[in-house]
Amino acid sequence: MGIRSLISPSSSSIRIPLGEAGRAGWGDRMDPLRKKLNRVVLGPGGEFDLIRQLVGPEEPLGQGVLVGSGDDCTVLEGGWVVSTDLSVEGVHFRREWVTLEEAGYRAAAAALSDLAAMAAEPIGALLSMALDPLRASSDALELQRGVAEACRVEGIRILGGDMARSPGPLVLDIVVIGRADSPVLRAGTEVGDELWVTGWLGGSGAAVALWKQGSHPPDDLREAFARPRPRIREARWLAGRVPLHGLIDLSDGLAGDSGHLAAASGLSLVLREASIPLHPALQGVPGLGDDPLHFPLEGGEDYELCFTVAPGSLDEWVGSFQDAFGIPLTKVGRATGGTGVFLEAAEGRIRPLERHGYSHFSGEEEG
Amino acid sequence: MGIRSLISPSSSSIRIPLGEAGRAGWGDRMDPLRKKLNRVVLGPGGEFDLIRQLVGPEEPLGQGVLVGSGDDCTVLEGGWVVSTDLSVEGVHFRREWVTLEEAGYRAAAAALSDLAAMAAEPIGALLSMALDPLRASSDALELQRGVAEACRVEGIRILGGDMARSPGPLVLDIVVIGRADSPVLRAGTEVGDELWVTGWLGGSGAAVALWKQGSHPPDDLREAFARPRPRIREARWLAGRVPLHGLIDLSDGLAGDSGHLAAASGLSLVLREASIPLHPALQGVPGLGDDPLHFPLEGGEDYELCFTVAPGSLDEWVGSFQDAFGIPLTKVGRATGGTGVFLEAAEGRIRPLERHGYSHFSGEEEG
């Protein structure tokens, strides 16, 4: 793709040029960007406070490391991107809900979704598993089948990994390796930008809610949980047509993840309640309560894309996107000054979204 | 370092040239090597049988992936190397044995040791932790302090990672990212080569044996377990002076790991019993049984280097290595035809080493 300008003159998109320039090393003009990127900017929440504590202050990144913590992937010179993603039995999945093959599939899909969140091309995966020694062999093979299938869908394979005994739950850690000439970061949104999402939201969270009540989710909701599709092709299609200003994947819910987007650019995002594309299979399912928006906003694990673009820039592409991928592309909000994420009701009332997505350390049990 | 010849004319060393050639893509002459490297060649053992099953057959590697499974790191175009390493509470460490800071330190050292095993320069690390939600914050900070310290010793920092709740033991997964102009692989040994190791062996395994008996290991043995030193500088020093034919780090014990070296080159290795550099702190410690060689051979987690060189090529460097690093450099055996690993007793009798290192899935509990 050659060299792109650091800040495209026609937009505020922060794209890292990684063609020849990236390979030849960074010139002085890159330093302000490197400094800017070398920050951990995350939305609010106890988990993210902890991450802010864990990741050191603004120490220099390693040689050839272009983006460190605080985005979906680490970005290395030459356009390589790397991310790591945990999946824990009893937290991310339960054996009563899914087969181990499905658990492996969704763990890999979740990890691959971090490549989608950079608009990167997938290259390979490393699979680590902590296994019950008494059934290690059969469990490992079943998990691996699912991981390998999710990889195959994206045209990649398992390149390596690690295995260990676990006296507790199954734990998977999946490292994904990808490549992008111009990885799209979380930062880069400007006031006035539009916020968009791909696909239907809330299906996975609703399935979990039904399982926890002892019900069986309808097939479409179960499928949303068990076999999410990382939006890798969709992200690359979009990034190839329109400058994406900020991009993230929806792993923790629209509230929390748009909070990261807002924080990364130092502004606020206002979601229009009526525009949120609620998964159609939530309609009429008993047991989901009287606030179905809870699922897209807080449910998490939809693994759809959430991104900002300049006003009007995407409109001409909506039809062909939907034709190409068979999923909706929906404008759900806008960027304004201030901080945080707000929800605008149909009648125009705007309220701040207090709770921001699933928290691993709130004491509440998910799975 | 520029381009090196694929197979150096003066030796059988398989080094992957990753200067301009690696960046410009692979020419046709690289294909036989790529095919050769795209195999999983591991020593015997149930765990490795499982790995052979898990990693697909000879499918093509991803674009820009030079080495996949079966070596210590994945090698990417541009000289990037990536490895992932699990550490599980109750398996790799116990809270009664080490502080969580030490557990983090040794988990990172173990991961970094995979960079040493490629003679790579460390660049950064990703840290994933599955944590008890009731003490997540304090546990995470303590583990992270240890990981960060091990990183700091090697001049790198934590670039990112993941966190999740765990209803079971603490689990760490540490991804290390490094760079090498000419990563040294496991394969490349020739019949007649000498087998060498760095440092003292068996200290870590002896500490574990003493803890399991309810004893307290002497300080030096405890230190060998709690604060292993990845031999990154040592590997780079050696690789810069002498063609290393095959290279691995000692994570599973000299028997198992030299088994991988032997298998990678399709020959056998004969260890000279009297030459194995037994950790001096094992002398005279009660409770270690009448076969102290068990610890270097089977104990594992010494994280020293084990490598082969052409006969006589290293002799002139032994003194300056020991002066520079303060640890011994010892010739422990030789490569011959056949398969497997053999132990040669002082009186010349040679027997095959049947058990090959620590197995995660033998049913025996380590930690």
* Residue A289 backbone dihedrals phi, psi, to 5 degrees: 75, -175
Write down the pLDDT at residue A359.
65
Residue B91 in contact with partner chain A when CB distance is under 8 A: yes
The structure tokens 């660049």 sit at B123
Write down the pLDDT at residue A9.
27
Inter-chain contact A61–B140, Cβ cutoff 8 Å? no
Write down the pLDDT at residue B42.
66
Inter-chain contact A126–B84, Cβ cutoff 8 Å? yes
Average pLDDT of the residues in A40-59: 60
Instruction: Flag whether A261 is in a domain.
Output: yes
CA distances from residue A81 to A229, A319, B125 in whole angstroms, order as listed? 20, 30, 13
Interface-testing mutation among B48, B106, B171, B301, with chain A (most A C-beta atoms within 10 A): B171
Q: Which residues pair with A162 in a beta bridge?
A: A128
Q: Which of B50, B162, B165 sits opposite A91 (nearest CB)?
A: B165
Asked whether the predicted pLDDT for residue B274 surpasses 90, the reply is: yes
Asked whether the predicted pLDDT for residue B67 surpasses 90, the reply is: no
Q: Which of B123, B159, B168 sits opposite A167 (nearest CB)?
A: B168
Using alpha carbons, select from A196, A198, A197, A200 the residue that is nearest to residue A280: A200
What region, left, alpha or beta, does residue B91 occupy, with left being phi > 0 and alpha being psi -120 to 50 degrees?
Answer: alpha
* Residue B248 backbone dihedrals phi, psi, to 5 degrees: -150, 160
Instruction: Flag whether A215 is in a domain.
Output: yes
Domain enclosing residue A310, as ranges: 194-352
DSSP letter string over B236-291? HHHHTTS--SEEEE-SS-HHHHHHHHHHHHTSEEEEEGGGS-B-GGGTT-TTS-S-
**Distance of alpha carbon B143 from alpha carbon B151, whole angstroms:** 12
Contact present, A214 and A96 (Cβ < 8 Å): no
Instruction: Flag whether A273 is in a domain.
Output: yes
- Chain A, residues 255-274, CB within 8 A of chain B, namely none
Percent of chain A's residues with pLDDT above 70: 80
The structure tokens 């270690």 sit at B288
Q: How far is B304 from chain A (nearest CA, A)?
A: 19
Per-residue pLDDT tens digits for A70-82: 788 999 999 999 9
- When mean pLDDT is compared across A43-57, A305-319, B156-170, B261-275, the lowest value belongs to A43-57
Per-residue pLDDT tens digits for A175-198: 999 999 889 999 999 999 999 999
* A-B C-beta contacts closer than 8 Å: 255
Q: Distance of alpha carbon B214 from its chain centroid, rounded?
A: 28
Per-residue pLDDT tens digits for B24-50: 233 333 333 334 444 456 676 655 665
Write down the pLDDT at residue A67.
86
Write down the pLDDT at residue B358.
57
Write down the pLDDT at residue A234.
98
Our count of domains for chain A comes to 1
Q: Which of B78, B160, B165 sits opposite A69 (nearest CB)?
A: B160
Contact present, A85 and A107 (Cβ < 8 Å): yes
Instruction: Flag whether B9 is in a domain.
Output: no
If you compute the radius of gyration of chain B from its CA atoms, what whole number of angstroms results?
20
Write down the pLDDT at residue A50.
60
Asked whether the predicted pLDDT for residue B194 surpasses 50, the reply is: yes
Asked whether the predicted pLDDT for residue B362 surpasses 90, the reply is: no
With beta carbons under 8 A apart, name residues in chain B contacting A126. Answer: 74, 82-84, 175
Write down the pLDDT at residue A345.
94
Asked whether the predicted pLDDT for residue A365 surpasses 70, the reply is: no
Asked whether the predicted pLDDT for residue B140 surpasses 90, the reply is: yes
Contact present, B355 and B293 (Cβ < 8 Å): no
Q: Which three-class secondary structure string do you get for B5-49?
A: CCECCCCCCEECCCCHHHHHCCCHHHHHHHHHHCCCCCCCCHHHH
Write down the pLDDT at residue B346.
87
Residue B24 in contact with partner chain A when CB distance is under 8 A: no
| CATH number, domain with residue A338 | 3.90.650.10
Instruction: Flag whether B299 is in a domain.
Output: yes
Instruction: Flag whether A201 is in a domain.
Output: yes
Instruction: Flag whether B269 is in a domain.
Output: yes
Per-residue pLDDT tens digits for B212-227: 999 999 999 999 999 9
Asked whether the predicted pLDDT for residue A48 surpasses 50, the reply is: yes
Instruction: Flag whether B10 is in a domain.
Output: no
